[in-house]
């Protein structure tokens, strides 16, 4: 079981004096600090897919960066099978596969070399890496561009390589930050199928998205974050039932509690 509790993270604002009047009204702004994540807590069971929702600037990416150990939280814990992974980030990184929102690849390496490099960083043997790449090339339909340099890849190609790179070490938990953003229908479908396959294998997946149809199709649980706090954490059916099956309205309903504050939300 993945247990995230009480995550908090603040960032120093570079020039507090230069903030606009609207920015100054954001409730997360405290002096020269911006409280990006204030209290994020949720759980995810083995084999579950958890959809992380929230408006832009709500704190989703910061939360996922903390889960991936890219950022250190000011408070809170991330436990995988009862062990707080934040205490030993190097071990946590072996257990977690993370796909960031920017699908950056090394342009002068081929698709295969990009994936293999991260396999090597995880200390995996070359023959095992080759076998896993071959398997993922089948699943993600990557054979046609695997040996080409990544510099001219389309968004879909980049995303597929990035996903393969994130899971090359067969992690115990997969975190995907907006994995289908900017993809065409075919590429989106391939990514969705891949998430489903991870779910079938029993690997828990946490992914942030703005597409409620993806949540409905794949997720077991839904977590909504607003203004750096968890405002909803329950099953998809419970989420859907908030507005009689209308997902979009359910989402808006979860935000209602902090609606007044929401009008002042600013992306830092």
Interface residues with another protein (CB under 8 A)?
A: 11-12, 65, 68-72, 90-91, 93-94, 96, 98, 100, 102-109, 113, 117-118, 120-123, 149, 162, 165-166
Which residue, 120 or 258, has its beta carbon nearer to another protein?
Answer: 120
CB of 6 to another protein, least distance (A): 19
CB of 257 to another protein, least distance (A): 29
CB of 209 to another protein, least distance (A): 19
Which residue, 15 or 263, has its beta carbon nearer to another protein?
Answer: 15
Which residue, 65 or 199, has its beta carbon nearer to another protein?
Answer: 65
CB of 9 to another protein, least distance (A): 9
CB of 259 to another protein, least distance (A): 30
Which residue, 91 or 131, has its beta carbon nearer to another protein?
Answer: 91
Which residue, 145 or 239, has its beta carbon nearer to another protein?
Answer: 145
Which residue, 99 or 255, has its beta carbon nearer to another protein?
Answer: 99
CB of 119 to another protein, least distance (A): 10
Q: What is the 3-state secondary structure (H, E, C) of the chain?
A: CEEEEEEEEEEECCCHHHCCHHHHCCCCEECCEEEEEEEEEEEECCCCEEEEECCCCCCHHHHHHHHCCCCCCCEEEEEECCEEHHHCHHHHHHHEEEECCCCCCCCCCEHHHHHHHHHHHCCCCHHHHHHHHHHHHHHHCCCCCCCCEHHHCCHHHHHHHHHHHHHCCCCCEEEEECCCCCCCHHHHHHHHHHHHHHHHCCCCEEEECCCHHHHHHHCCEEEEEECCEEEEEEEHHHHHHCCCCCHHHHHHHHHHCCHHHHCCCCCC
């Amino acid at each position: 079981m993945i247990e995230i509790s009480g995550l908090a993270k603040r960032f120093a604002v570079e020039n507090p004096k230069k903030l606009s009047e609207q920015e100054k009204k954001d409730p997360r702004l405290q002096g020269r600090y911006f409280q990006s994540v204030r209290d994020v807590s949720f759980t995810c069971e083995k084999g579950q897919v958890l959809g992380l929702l929230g408006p832009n600037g709500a704190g989703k990416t910061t939360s996922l960066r903390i889960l991936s150990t890219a950022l250190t939280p000011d408070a809170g814990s991330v436990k995988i099978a009862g062990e707080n992974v934040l205490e030993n980030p190097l071990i946590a990184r072996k257990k977690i596969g993370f796909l960031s929102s920017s699908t950056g690849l090394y342009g002068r390496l081929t698709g295969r070399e990009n994936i293999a490099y991260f396999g090597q960083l995880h200390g995996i043997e070359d023959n095992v890496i080759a076998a896993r790449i071959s398997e993922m090339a089948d699943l993600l339909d990557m054979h046609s561009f695997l040996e080409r340099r990544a510099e001219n890849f389309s968004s879909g190609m980049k995303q597929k390589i990035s996903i393969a790179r994130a899971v090359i070490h067969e992690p115990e938990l997969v975190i995907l930050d907006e994995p289908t953003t900017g993809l065409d229908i075919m590429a989106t479908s391939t990514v969705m199928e891949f998430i489903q396959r991870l779910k079938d294998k029993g690997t828990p997946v946490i992914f942030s998205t703005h597409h409620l149809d993806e949540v409905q199709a794949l997720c077991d649980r839904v977590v909504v974050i607003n203004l750096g706090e968890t405002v909803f954490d329950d099953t998809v059916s419970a989420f859907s039932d908030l507005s009689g099956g209308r997902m979009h309205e359910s989402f808006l309903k979860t935000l209602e509690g902090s609606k007044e504050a929401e009008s002042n939300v600013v992306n830092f």
